[in-house]
Structure 1
Amino acid sequence: MYSHMMVGSNDIDRSKKFYDALFKSVGGPEAMVDPKGRLMYIHNGSIFMVTSPIDGKEATSGNGMTVGFAMESPEQADAWHKAGLEAGGTAIEDPPGVRENPGMNLYLAYLRDPDGNKLCALHQMG
């Protein structure tokens, strides 16, 4: 059902620095840039894209929206979170750690990208 996720940016160069750091921290590639200047990250069978809005208006983050990235381990989530902070992201919500839920424990780490998009690294603890 899922094919890709795209977020808007007001500064593609700044976003490239930020998302390149995130993807490289988990073994992914730097962005490919398509002919329209959009950033495309292909990793673990998924596609994540960053674009300037095609309507020419300012990019805004979605209130209540979170983009989740699957992680292989808590350590990978921590590396992702650290890379994001060092590349201009902002830590939000609780610090990275285990969240106990009925029937499933999750390791979560949250960031906002430089444009305010909410991101989450998630590892299912089993």
Structure 2
Amino acid sequence: MLDHIGFAVADFARSKRFYQAALAPLGITLLMEVSAEETGAEAHAGFGTPGRPFFWIGTGSRPAQSTHVAFVAPDRATVDAFHRAALAAGGTDNGAPGPRPHYHPDYYGAYVRDPDGNNIEAVCRRPA
């Protein structure tokens, strides 16, 4: 089980705005920020649910390839809302909301590319 995940972004402020909008339908909000002065290196923003940031973005060197992160959605309507919010916030479509039975019989997911090209997904594994 993962405790948290994080990766570097090219434009910290732009990515913060993107994730604040895209993750809101999933109930995930910006919970804390740590400055470069505090860490002695890079700035970070932690998103999560009340009391627990588990998804982090930060300044620093970006990986050569994109990252894939999938967030759990409680239902299919929330997957749809995530996709709409992410596109409205500047993301690009990387797979419209829909069933993906090749992953799991009840898999319903949507994919967007964030401003840095990372593949961000919302998925519900509950029956329709």
Question: TM-score, normalization: structure 1?
Answer: 0.83
Deviation at 1:101, TM superposition (A): 3.2
The ranges of structure 1 where at least 4 consecutive aligned residues each deviate by more than 4 angstroms after the TM superposition are: none
Q: Secondary structure at the match of 1:119?
A: strand
5+ residue gaps, structure 1, are none
Q: Secondary structure at the match of 2:83?
A: helix
Contact 1:68 1:120 in 2 (8 A): yes
Supply the RMSD in Å over aligned alpha carbons. Answer: 2.1
Counterpart in the other structure of 2:18: 18
* CA shift in 2, pair 1:97/1:8, >3 Å: same
Does 1:99 find its partner at 2:85? no
The number of aligned residues is 120
Cα separation, 1, equivalents of 2:104 and 2:88? 34
Cα separation, 1, equivalents of 2:80 and 2:118? 19
Among 57, 61, 64, the alignment partner of 1:50 is 57
For 2:47, the aligned partner's letter is Y
* CA shift in 2, pair 1:103/1:81, >3 Å: closer
Among 73, 76, 85, the alignment partner of 1:74 is 76
* CA shift in 2, pair 1:3/1:98, >3 Å: same
* CA shift in 2, pair 1:75/1:10, >3 Å: same
**Which sits farther off after the overlay, 23-32 or 107-116?**
23-32
Q: Percent identity?
A: 30
Cα separation, 2, equivalents of 1:103 and 1:115? 28
